[in-house]
Amino acid sequence: SQTIHQWPATLVQPVGSPLSLECTVEGTSNPNLYWYRQAAGRGLQLLFYSVGIGQISSEVPQNLSASRPQDRQFILSSKKLLLSDSGFYLCARSGTAITGELFFGEGSRLTVL
C-alpha cells in the first residue's frame, strides 16, 4: 500500500493564528513530495515540493513554509494565517522516475476566519 495520510482533515482558524498541516507517506522510500492548494474547487497551485529530507523548493512566494524532517513526512506551516490562506490543501507524492504519476492524499480543508 502506498497510502498518503493528511491531518487534520478540516481546520477552522482565526486570522493571525499559526498553522501546521501534516502529511505522511507509507509504503515507499525516498518519494518526491508536494504540497498543492486548491481554491474554490478548481485549479491546483503548486506550493512546495521536496526531493529529500531537508530539501524544499518553493514555487510561489507566500505566507507559508514547508519542512521535511523525515523521509516520509512533509509539513506545511504558517506563523500567521491570512484570510487568503483558506483553501483545500493536498499532499502528493511521486516516485523518482520521470514517467511516474502523482498520488494524492485526501486533503485538508482550511478555513481562516
Partner 1 sequence: AQSVAQPEDQVNVAEGNPLTVKCTYSVSGNPYLFWYVQYPNRGLQFLLKYITGDNLVKGSYGFEAEFNKSQTSFHLKKPSALVSDSALYFCAVRDGNYGQNFVFGPGTRLSVLP
Euclidean distance between CA atoms 92 and 44, whole angstroms: 12
Name residues contacting partner 1, limited to 58-87 (CB under 8 A): 59
Residue with smaller CB distance to partner 1, 34 or 74 = 34
Q: How far is the CB of 104 from partner 1 (least distance, A)?
A: 4
Euclidean distance between CA atoms 90 and 5, whole angstroms: 10
CB neighbour class for 27 (10 Å; exposed up to 12, middle 13-18, buried from 19): exposed
> Binding to partner 1 by residue 43, rule CB under 8 A?
yes
| Three-state secondary structure call for residue 39 | coil
> Binding to partner 1 by residue 7, rule CB under 8 A?
no
x-or-dash pattern for partner 1, window 92-111, by CB under 8 A?
x-x---xx-xxxxxxx-x--
- What residues form DSSP beta bridges with 67? 75
CA-only gyration radius of the chain, Å? 13
Q: Where along the sequence are the contacts to partner 1 (CB under 8 A)? A: 4, 32, 34, 41-44, 46, 49, 51, 57, 59, 88, 90, 92, 94, 98-99, 101-107, 109
